[in-house]
Amino acid sequence: MTKPVRKAIFPVGGLGTRFLPATKVLPKEMLPVVDKPLIQYAVEEAIAAGIEQFIFVTGRGKTALEDHFDHSYELEDTLVEKGKTDIHKAVLDILPEPGKVFYTRQMKPKGLGHAVWCAKELIGDEPFAVLLADDLVLAQNKCCLAQMIDVYNQTGGNVVAIEEVPREETYKYGVLNVVEDDGRIAQANGLVEKPDPQDAPSNLSIIGRYILQPEVFAQLDKQETGAGNEIQLTDAMAKTIPDVEFRGLRFEGRRYDCGSKLGFIEANLAFALARDDLRDGVQHILSELTQ
pLDDT at 192: 87
Burial of 94 (0-12, 13-18, 19+ CB in 10 A): middle
Instruction: Identify the pLDDT of residue 2.
Output: 84
Q: CA 280, CA 291: separation in Å to the nearest integer?
A: 17
User: Beta strands 7-11 and 128-131: pairing type?
Assistant: parallel
- Amino acid symbol at 128: F
Q: What is the band of 98 on the pLDDT scale with cuts at 50, 70, 90?
A: confident
Residue 1 has pLDDT above 80, yes or no: no
Average pLDDT, the chain: 93
Query: What contacts 18, CB < 8 A, 6 or more positions away?
Result: 259, 260, 261
What pLDDT digit, counting tens, does each position of 202-256 carry?
Answer: 999 999 999 999 999 999 999 988 887 889 999 999 999 989 999 999 999 999 9
- Contacts of 154 by beta carbon, 8 Å cutoff, 6+ apart: none
Q: What percent of the chain has pLDDT over 70?
A: 100
Distance CA 235, CA 246 (A): 13
Q: What is the pLDDT of residue 95?
A: 85
Other beta carbons within 10 angstroms of residue 122's beta carbon come to 16
pLDDT score at 242: 86
Phi–psi pair at 141, nearest 5 degrees: -115, -100
Ranges of H-type helices in the chain? 38-48, 63-68, 73-81, 85-93, 112-117, 120-123, 144-155, 216-220, 233-240, 261-273, 279-289
- Sequence-ordered alpha helix ranges (H) in 23-81: 38-48, 63-68, 73-81
Query: pLDDT tens, 145-156?
Result: 999 999 999 999
pLDDT of residue 44: 95
pTM: 0.93
pLDDT attached to residue 140: 87
* Average pLDDT over every residue of 173-181: 91
What's phi and psi for 171, nearest 5 deg?
-65, -10
Question: What is the arithmetic mean of pLDDT over 62-73?
Answer: 90
Strand pairing category for 135-138 and 128-131: unpaired
The amino acid that residue 155 corresponds to is T
